[in-house]
Chain A
């Protein structure tokens, strides 16, 4: 007998230092951000995962029905719909992730540079943003990630979740 599964399945593109993995994850109401923040597991599991090398991201080199990733080794995750990643709230009451003013942000992780927008309330400083935002992953909205050594290779998403520990450079546009 198979166990009943709760939540819904989302499609995502996940990036490690050298690989792009497209797959599906089962998430709850908090989206993939909540799954990544879950302290009970150091791993993220994907179903029907298709693996490509970052230098040839269109070509599939391997596929597996089940794949697990150590969360610390994920650089960022690209989602086409922000509702798959975080709770966005409603028109009348935004969630903690979408509250505040929009700030154009540029950051780097190994092999990639990412540009997008963050939402932040309060003092504008990189430290304040990174410390005060919830979880291990920083949400960047309407974001594009470009490969540092192959700038013609880029990935866009309604939401990119970036592992805070993997961030090298973090820049905020003060008057955005």
Chain B
């Protein structure tokens, strides 16, 4: 999440750009006048500046030059956003000291991608050679697994500012799309129909959320477990891994060939358990079944997700029953039903309630481990 200042004399455009950036997980300061803008930049030193060119009193080019000539803020990344859309305008913008250029009208996706690119350049964020696959699984339904997958993917996207892809392997109709208020016209089922799993084909099936998160959606209609072969899942995940920093996979609650293949392909498998007797008993049986099927996982961890107000079993009791450590605990969050209705994951809001706090922490730990590894 970055602090972005936007300077534009057009009030409507200013508000629209501000909303786009906020949906991308950034905090914004909207300024209508370049002279005031320079003073505020000097005082606050933001992470990035989105700048219009055509403004009265001072053009965006002049302000960009002024910033580059001021030692205190000379390294501020500047993105020029202008209605002047000719090649000469791009060249002039870059000559004036801007780091990036976009012409209006701009889509939310273009803006977020460009902003992320400039921010990652500025932060020196590592460009990962191969992404991390995180698979969330549980054979008991209703444990909030999709909620966690969506929020974790959104949080990883927000924190890392890198490509993050959410893969919904649900067989009972696309669930993740509801959480993100997406209306997918395509899904992984189309890849199976065509039998092509290369990056170009997969890219066509990815839906881009305004936050920049990529989603490979599940088909809208329920499917038989046999539709997804182990080979198809392995190939899709490996291809995504080559092209995204993180691939978060929401597995179906069915122990199929695809389920096993996804667990084996993952770098981190997260077993989601709710603190109740049936969930713990199911988790025990899942562990046994996985061991019996000789499924090898690179790294396995347990997440306790409390989806009801009361938790009948304590985390310590769950650890004792499963004979393993609980890596992450997520408490009950009364805001989640509303977030689901609104189609905005809590980790993409500024809410500081239980779920986003815990999931953001989870994403932070994962991201820190990755950056240390790099």
| B205 CB, min distance to chain A CBs, angstroms | 27
Prevailing SS type, chain B contact patch: loop
In angstroms, Cα B85 to Cα A57, docked, is 12
In the complex, what's the smallest C-beta–C-beta distance from A80 to chain B, in angstroms?
6
B271 CB–A CB distance under 8 Å? no
* Bound Cα distance A156, B86 (Å): 7
Stretch at the interface among B24-32, B52-60, B356-364: B52-60
Q: Is residue A35 within 8 Å, beta carbon to beta carbon, of the partner chain? A: no
Chain B residues whose C-beta falls within 8 Å of the C-beta of A57 in the assembled complex = 86, 88-89, 92
B104 nearest CB neighbor, chain A only: A11
What is the CB-to-nearest-CB distance from A116 to chain B, in angstroms, rounded to a whole number? 15
User: In the bound complex, how far is the Cα of B68 from the Cα of A24, in angstroms?
Assistant: 30
Which of B55, B84, B88, B104 is within 8 Å of A153, CB to CB?
A: B88
Q: Report yes or no: A13 in contact with B86, Cβ–Cβ below 8 A.
A: yes
Contact of B87 among A22, A48, A154 (CB under 8 A): A154
Residues of chain A within 8 A of B84, CB atoms compared: 13, 22, 50, 58
Contacts of A154 in B (CB 8 A): 86-88
**Majority SS at the chain A contact face:** strand
Cα–Cα distance between A22 and B53 once the two chains are bound (Å): 11
Q: Which of B55, B83, B88, B104 contacts A58 (CB 8 A)?
A: B88
User: Could you say which residues of chain B place their CB within 8 Å of the CB of A50?
Assistant: 53-54, 59, 84
Binary CB contact string for chain A from 90 to 128 against chain B (1 if under 8 A, 0 otherwise): 000000000000000000000000000000000000000
Interface residues of A in 67-91 (CB under 8 A from B): 78, 80
On whether the beta carbons of B92 and A22 are closer than 8 Å, the reply is no
Q: Are A80 and B88 in contact (CB under 8 A)?
A: no
Cα of A59 to Cα of B89 in the assembled complex, Å: 9
How many chain B residues touch A (Cβ–Cβ < 8 Å)?
A: 18
Chain B residues whose CB sits within 8 angstroms of the CB of A156 once the complex forms: 86-87
On chain A, the number of residues with a Cβ less than 8 Å from chain B's Cβ atoms is: 17
The smallest beta-carbon distance between A161 and chain B, in angstroms, is 16
Flag whether B158 is at the interface (Cβ < 8 A).
no
CA distance A56 to B269 in the complex (A): 58
Q: Does B91 contact A (CB under 8 A)?
A: yes
Task: Write out the residue numbers on chain A whose beta carbons fall within 8 Å of the beta carbon of B91.
Answer: 58
B85: chain A residues within 8 A (beta carbon): 80
A58 lies within 8 A of B92 (CB): yes
Q: Are A155 and B92 in contact (CB under 8 A)?
A: no
Q: Which residue of A lies closest to B54 (CB)?
A: A50
Assess whether A63 is interfacial by the CB under 8 Å rule.
yes
Q: Is the CB of A60 within 8 A of B59?
A: yes
A22 near B83: Cβ-Cβ < 8 Å: yes
* Most chain B beta-carbon neighbours within 10 Å: one of A48, A78, A154: A48
Q: Which residues of A contact B (CB under 8 A)?
A: 11, 13, 22, 48, 50, 57-60, 63, 65, 78, 80, 153-156
